[in-house]
């Protein structure tokens, strides 16, 4: 959970402030997660499962990017890969689903309050991290 917080907070901050994710920071998070799993698992199969979860997270969000014609950023796909490696496949889908629901609820609330309009970009990385942390907490019980 520490690695999630160490990278999640600064990436979320950048996304909220600049509506973009700095590539060096997202790649550092991805690299750190790979190293973390490599050190944690001496069994290559276990390590490979987490790497495949990262690939699944990336491909899932990248597919959404293609379908929406760039409606979601490439940085969000990299963050999803990071989450996949940290959470594993079993927790990745609930985390992304939770992130999407949180983003929808907050967006509808902001639209209703007239704080944003439909053209306003919504930073998704903070929702991904929130979904990831909440999923970790829920799965712990």
Q: Express each pLDDT in 72-110 by its tens digit.
A: 999 999 999 999 999 999 999 999 999 999 999 999 999
pLDDT tens-place values along the chain, 141 residues long:
789 999 999 999 999 999 999 999 999 999 999 999 999 988 899 999 999 999 999 999 999 999 999 889 999 999 999 999 999 999 999 999 999 999 999 999 999 999 999 889 999 999 999 999 999 999 988
- Other CB atoms within 10 Å distance of the CB of residue 8: 23
Q: Would you tell me the crossing angle of helices 125-140 and 74-87 to the nearest 10 degrees? A: 10
CA distances from 126 to 88, 106, 123, 129, 138 (A): 19, 12, 7, 5, 18
**Tokens in use for 124?**
């998704």
**Domain ranges, ordered by start, for the chain:** 2-140
Residues 6+ apart with CB under 8 A from 134: 95, 98
Q: SS3 for 38-68, per residue? A: HHHCCCHHHHHHHHHHHHHHHHHHHHHHHHC
Which helix (H) or strand (E) segment holds residue 27: the answer is: helix 23-40
Counting beta carbons within 10 angstroms of the beta carbon of residue 57, is it exposed (0 to 12), middle (13 to 18) or buried (19 or more)? buried
């Amino acid at each position: 959970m520490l690695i999630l917080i160490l990278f999640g907070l600064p990436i979320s901050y950048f996304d909220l402030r600049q509506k973009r994710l700095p590539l060096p920071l997202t790649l550092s998070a991805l690299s750190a997660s790979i190293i973390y799993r490599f050190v944690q698992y001496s069994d290559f199969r276990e390590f490979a499962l987490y790497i495949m979860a990262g690939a699944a997270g990336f491909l899932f969000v990248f597919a959404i990017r293609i379908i929406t014609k760039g409606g979601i950023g490439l940085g969000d796909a990299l963050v999803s890969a990071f989450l996949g490696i940290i959470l594993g496949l079993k927790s990745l889908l609930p985390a992304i689903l939770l992130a999407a629901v949180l983003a929808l609820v907050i967006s509808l609330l902001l639209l209703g309050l007239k704080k944003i309009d439909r053209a306003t970009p919504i930073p998704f990385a903070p929702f991904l991290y929130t979904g990831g942390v909440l999923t970790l907490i829920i799965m712990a019980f």
